[in-house]
Structure 1
Amino acid sequence: MISGGYYTWKKCDDKCADVCGQQASPTLLSMSSVRCFLQGLDLRSIFFLFLVIPSGVFFIYSHGQKITYFLRPLWQSPPKPFIPITHYYNENVSMPALCKLHGWGVREFPRRVYDAVLFSNEVDMLTIRWKELYPYITQFVLLESNSTFTALPKPLNFDINRDKFKFVEPRLTYGKIGGRFRRGENPFIEEAYQRLALDQLLQVAGIEDDDLLIMSDVDEIPSRHTIDLLRWCDDIPPVLHLQLRNYLYSFEFEHRDLSWRASVHRYKRGTTKYAHYRQSDYLLSDSGWHCSFCFRRISDFIFKMKAYSHTDRVRFSHFLKPKRIQDIICKGADLYDMLPEEYTFRDIIGRMGPIPHSFSAVHLPWYLLENADKYKYLLPGNCVRERS
């Protein structure tokens, strides 16, 4: 059966045609062929075939995304770097002096400011955001849908909780939009559909050329002094991204990576479109806070994981188990068991593992600290979430 170290398949076929001295039927022939094939394997070959290969397939299935992210430096170059703008601020420095420090002139009167958001279920974060920005916003513009980006039905949560936002009612433009409920469609298509509707709602709100428009998600909160600076200073860039301190789950876990997607636009009719991607090279440093997945209840974590555009990251059903989610929150680990999205091996390796705990609560939104008992879960040392 073995010739020169190689398996002689023709001889095997001859043998398999006569099993136990009997002429083989077609069914018996196929069974005997398998038996003959197995007899021709040594122990190492069997080990490789039945243990190593299945284990490798399972590993790739379970960790394929990690492998892709780890190898990113081989197939993707880092994006073009931003042009950072030094951000000067002290409460005792006058506005003309602050504008001059930035290389800008000062206006005789401030621009009008519109804050526009798509809303899902972030009632607490919306309250903190609007309290922070309230003195300097001309019109609050909010749109919500009865559908998530992933075509799941959802309640109109802002409408249900509208009584909590009476303080902005005189300056509120609120809109509702019906979802298209196209299951299986790329979630970013539904997201773009809702952002286009927000463009139309801004027209209803009365926005005009050269008004300032804040484009950011609810949990991307510009600091009030940042917006005051931009409304008073002349010659600011037409589109300016805001570099935000980036937090996860609460203000206890601060990422080394800074958030940049929030932006402020000098509105231009026919040109300015509401979007949530890079639209400029300019980045104003230290301009606020981004608190991602900063929810009070475990059920809110589960809802967002199933509802937002990156739902493909929920690769296994056990990712949604409440106990697992609670453990991860207190560790500062990743809900999706992902590697950092970096472009060099050094950055990927250096940023693996949970985010270190922070015990600083300095320079956070004022309304959060003023109502610390109510929002205790957002402050350091309070990682346990409500289960209901």
Structure 2
Amino acid sequence: ICFFLLIQVLSGYLFLHFGKEYQLQYSEELNNITTKVNLYLGLSQKENRSIFSNNDTFTLQDDTNIYFKQFTVDLTCYITGTDFVATKIVVMNNDGKKNVTNSCICKRGYYGEDCGIPDAIWHSRYRKPEFTRLLKRRAKPRRIINGLPVLKEIDMLETRFNELGDAVDLFMLGESNFSAHGDHKELYILKQLENGFLKEFHHKILHVFVDFFPAKGKTQSWIADEYLRVYMGKLGIPRVAGVRDDDLFIISDADEIPSRPVIMFLKLYDGYTEPVAFVLRWSIYGFFWKSKSQDNLVSNLFNWKKEATTTVYAVTSMGVLRDVHKNDPFLIRKIKKYDAQALLSAYERKHPGTFDPWEAGSAKHYAGWHCSWCFNPEGIVLKLDSAQAGDMPRWGDYPEKHDKNYLQSLIRDGRWFDGSKNMFLANPKEKYYAPPYMIKHSDKFASILFHPKQRKMLSQLSSRSSKNKQDTTKSGSPSPKYASSTSKKYNTN
């Protein structure tokens, strides 16, 4: 009922301000889009209850949260990055001597005078004094829009929203009823949202339904690859109100999750340039396999396992996105190949010194995670079948690649579809192994967190632990020898 009332109010407004002809045209397009969404959701027109419509708009609001604490007139510290106990001691001691400290005491993984520079930013050019001194706290946080095309990445979406839900102001989800191959498909994510998926974040979601597939995408893979990102921006960005030029747009793939500390840094500081590339930890099939860089004579001789990372240009200001890229987010990624010098020059005259591409993060000090093909066998089959027609070799065209046992063997052995082994097992104890939300809910995400052998071992340990608890309940105390051996096995694996 509310949906229809909104349509009536909007139609009346358009009639008064733009005339009958425009109002009729807009209403017809609105009804067509709404009907298509409901058909793909399995709703009749009588049930017309979609909560995510292509008529929805979003107004960015100012972030009024407190992120810094002022100790003295000259000392302000980033709350998340500061060890307050240590900092208080230093300030009290110095105050007694009338010698106030000029820096906060940082927690591990944070740097800078106010402890606001996270690990990934520190391991970039902004560690150098000539760049660090340019960084200044903002009086008002930027607003962040994270746009991404989606297929059926349920686990990764749940993790993204729970990792970044308080850092990102708007999630723009681009979804089509066509796959990248040009085949009709379900609106998997929209249907999940309608059924309550991510309900606590619905107020931050703008779903952009792209109801067509470009004809040339059938033969030209680059068109199929970019069209959903292009039209997510072209159709979605005009629906966002209250945008300021220095607000940020982050373009991601659904399997790329930026680090929350990095996003908060971009939100809270001035002085860095744009666009920003993220150096991401690159995993395949699960976080347990790391992508390996190409072997050479030295690496083969010493059996070195040097990891490959994913580096993607992902961040630009809304001013550049509008004036230079014309609301096409895909062009953020193509910055090295995209010639927009005339538009850039015009923008730089308006905002001098702001355009200078740089990378956030490095190997071991990642700006986030890229978990490629991180699905169960059924999800891998869907991804195979959805791949672009011009993406050669197109493994989805090979029937044997759909076999569940075959796909499980790839996941187990760390092999690619061509039989090559371009990955190595990661240590699950490493600092940035996976997003913290997944680690916290490791039971739920075990299939993509741990190698099948690790999962089997953990299952056995869990079973032994349960048996141990039962024995304790029966006898009143555990067997010291059994408890010690179980603990040792768990800690060494």
Say whether the fold is shared (TM-score over 0.5).
Answer: yes
Q: Distance in 2 between matches of 1:232 and 1:197?
A: 29
Counterpart Cα distance in 1 of 2:247 and 2:112: 23
Instruction: Specify which of 206, 210, 234 is matched with residue 177 of structure 1.
Output: 210
**Percentage identity across paired residues of the two chains:** 22
For 1:383 and 1:271, locate their aligned partners in 2 and report how far apart those are by CA, in whole Å: 50
Q: Quick one: which amino acid aligns to residue 282 of structure 1?
A: W
What SS does structure 2 have at the residue aligned with 1:140? strand
TM-fit CA distance, 1:380 = 2.1
TM-score (norm 1): 0.67
After TM superposition, the structure 1 = structure 2 runs for residues 313-332 of structure 1, keeping only pairs within 5 Å, are 313-314=393-394, 316-332=398-414
Per the TM alignment, residue 317 of structure 1 is displaced from its structure 2 partner at its CA by 3.1
Secondary structure at the residue paired with 1:114? strand
Match among 184, 192, 216 for residue 161 of structure 1: 192
Q: 1:150 touches 1:311 (CA, 8 Å); kept in 2?
A: no
Relative to structure 1, is the Cα distance of residues 172 and 107 closer, same or farther in structure 2, using a 3 angstrom cutoff? Answer: same
- Provide, for residues 246-292 of structure 1, a one-character-per-residue CA deviation record: whole Å limited to 9, x for no partner: 01111101121110125111221222331173426411112011000
CA contact (8 A) 1:128 1:368 kept: yes
Partner of 1:358: 426
Question: Which amino acid in the other structure matches residue 205 of structure 1?
Answer: V
2:386 & 2:259 partners in 1: Cα distance?
A: 28
Structure 1, unaligned stretches of length 5 or more?
1-87, 339-352
2:177 maps to which of 146, 162, 174 = 146
Deviation at 1:135, TM superposition (A): 1.2
Amino acid at match of 1:202: I
Query: Within the alignment, does 1:270 sit opposite 2:323 as a pair?
Result: yes
Q: Pick one of 218, 230, 238 that aligns with 2:266.
A: 230
Q: Which has the larger radius of gyration?
A: 1
Structure 1 residue 383: Cα displacement: 6.9
Q: What's the TM-score, normalizing by structure 2?
A: 0.53
> Does residue 1:287 correspond to 2:367, yes or no?
yes
Q: Are 1:111 and 2:133 counterparts?
A: no
- How far off is 1:151 after superposition? 0.5
Deviation at 1:229, TM superposition (A): 0.7
Q: What is the match of residue 68 of structure 2?
A: none
Select which of 452, 467, 491 maps to 1:382.
Answer: 452
From 301, 309, 331, the equivalent of 2:380 is 301
Structure 2 residue matching 1:261: 3-state secondary structure: strand
Cα distance per residue 1:127-170 (max 9 Å; x no partner)? 11111111111111111000011102211011111111112111
How far residue 181 of structure 1 moved from its aligned partner, in angstroms, is 6.8
Q: Displacement, 1:377?
A: 0.4
Pairwise CA distance, 1:95: 7.7
Structure 1 pair 262–252 and aligned structure 2 pair: CA distance change class (3 A): farther
Compute the displacement of 1:202 (Å).
1.9
- Render the CA deviation track for 1:161-217: whole Å, top value 9, x for unaligned: 111111211111112111327484323313333222111202212343111111110
Question: What is the deviation of 1:323?
Answer: 1.8
Q: Which residue does the alignment assign to 1:373?
A: 443
How many angstroms apart in 1 are the aligned matches of 2:394 and 2:111?
A: 48
- Is residue 203 from structure 1 mapped to residue 238 from structure 2 by the alignment? yes
Q: Which amino acid aligns with 1:289?
A: W
Distance 2:416 2:310 in 1: 17
Cα shift at 1:311: 4.1
